[in-house]
């Protein structure tokens, strides 16, 4: 079935990493991964599907079709275990691999699910932990849409073009969080999907019906200027920067002058 999967991010990121602005020996490991908060769907389960290695998280759904009785649609996520990571401004890194298993099912597609990932890492002396979550909104079209040969809009029932293939889109690429690393603030963004062989992260890619597509899920780091204030999000906090004394003094004197003029008008009026 064709699935339009929109990926939004609600990233609860707190990275108390005691790292310098560039470290070439940092580690990133996926500590845990699971799917939760699933909305809709029939026969929803988390059974292991063979062929994806150990430590993967699974979500399967749908009433299987008579033509394909052994396969449900689903999503698989397997996290990363990286070492020697160079943490710096402009870093784009994979936090795991996602497989979208688009199978021919009769009905019972889910509408939404959330992937929760726990990550632990370090820099050779300090350890950090963070929890990330992404919500997938899934919209699957019917397998009964007609191909063009029969008066429909699809190039063919199995095509990735003409409106019948599956389209996976990351809609949350602008969602970000601010974290502090070794006293420096970094904005963390979801960069999108990285397909094998692609030059850079992509926001969308196409899937064929009755197939499996894979991509890396990417995040990026952008170092923010240190202005002495606190940015919201992450392990920062909101606040109003104080006005420096040289700038505040004229404002104070101006206010006093205003009060004097107000008193003078009141005396004249009396």
Task: Write the pLDDT tens digit of every residue in 173-232.
Answer: 345 667 666 666 777 776 777 887 777 777 666 677 777 888 888 877 788 887 644 444
Q: Among 155, 173, 178, which residue's Cα sits nearest to residue 13? A: 178
Q: Is the domain of 173 the same as that of 257?
A: no
157 close to 146: Cβ distance less than 8 angstroms: no
Please tell me the predicted confidence (pLDDT) of residue 157. 54
pLDDT tens digits for 57-111?
Answer: 999 999 887 777 778 989 999 998 878 777 788 988 888 999 988 887 778 888 7
CA dist., res. 198 & res. 177, Å (int)? 26
Q: Is the domain of 114 the same as that of 25?
A: yes
Please tell me the predicted confidence (pLDDT) of residue 66. 78
Q: Is the domain of 92 the same as that of 176?
A: yes
- Domain membership of residue 232 (yes or no) is no
- Domain membership of residue 228 (yes or no) is no
Strand partners, 170: 7
The DSSP result for 151-178, as a single string, is: TSSBS-TT-SSTT-SEEEEE--TT-EEE
Please tell me the predicted confidence (pLDDT) of residue 135. 77
CA dihedral over 103, 107, 111, 115, signed as positive or negative: negative
Q: Is the domain of 164 the same as that of 253?
A: no
Q: Is the domain of 140 the same as that of 249?
A: no
Please tell me the predicted confidence (pLDDT) of residue 76. 95
Tally of structural domains, the chain: 2
CA dist., res. 62 & res. 102, Å (int)? 11
DSSP structural state of residue 208? -
Q: Which residues contact 227 (CB under 8 A, 6 or more apart)?
A: 241
Q: Is the domain of 215 the same as that of 260?
A: no
Q: Is the domain of 85 the same as that of 52?
A: yes
User: Where in the sequence is the domain holding 268, given as residue range(s)?
Assistant: 243-270
Q: Is the domain of 214 the same as that of 249?
A: no
């Amino acid at each position: 079935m064709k699935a339009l999967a929109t990926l939004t991010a609600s990233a609860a990121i707190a990275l108390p990493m005691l790292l310098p602005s560039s470290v070439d020996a940092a580690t990133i490991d996926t500590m845990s991964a699971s799917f939760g908060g699933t909305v809709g769907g029939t026969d929803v389960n988390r059974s292991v599907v063979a062929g994806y290695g150990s430590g993967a998280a699974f979500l399967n759904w749908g009433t299987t079709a008579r033509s394909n009785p052994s396969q449900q649609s689903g999503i698989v996520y397997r996290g990363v275990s990286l070492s020697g990571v160079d943490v710096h401004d402009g870093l784009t890194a994979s936090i795991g691999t996602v497989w979208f298993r688009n199978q021919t099912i009769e009905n019972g597609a889910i509408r939404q699910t959330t992937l929760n990932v726990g990550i632990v890492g370090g820099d050779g002396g300090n350890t950090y932990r963070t929890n990330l979550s992404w919500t997938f909104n899934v919209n699957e079209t019917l397998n009964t849409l007609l191909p063009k040969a029969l008066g429909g809009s699809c190039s063919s029932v199995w095509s990735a073009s003409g409106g019948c293939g599956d389209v996976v889109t990351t809609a949350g690429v602008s969602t970000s969080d601010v974290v502090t690393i070794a006293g420096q603030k970094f904005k963390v963004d979801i960069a999108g999907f990285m397909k094998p062989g692609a030059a850079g992260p992509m926001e969308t890619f196409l899937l064929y019906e009755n197939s499996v597509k894979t991509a890396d899920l990417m995040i990026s780091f952008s170092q923010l200027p240190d202005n002495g204030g606190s940015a919201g999000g992450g392990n920062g906090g909101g606040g109003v920067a104080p006005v420096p004394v040289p700038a505040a003094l004229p404002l104070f004197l101006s206010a006093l002058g205003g009060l004097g003029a107000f008193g003078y008008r009141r005396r004249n009026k009396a």
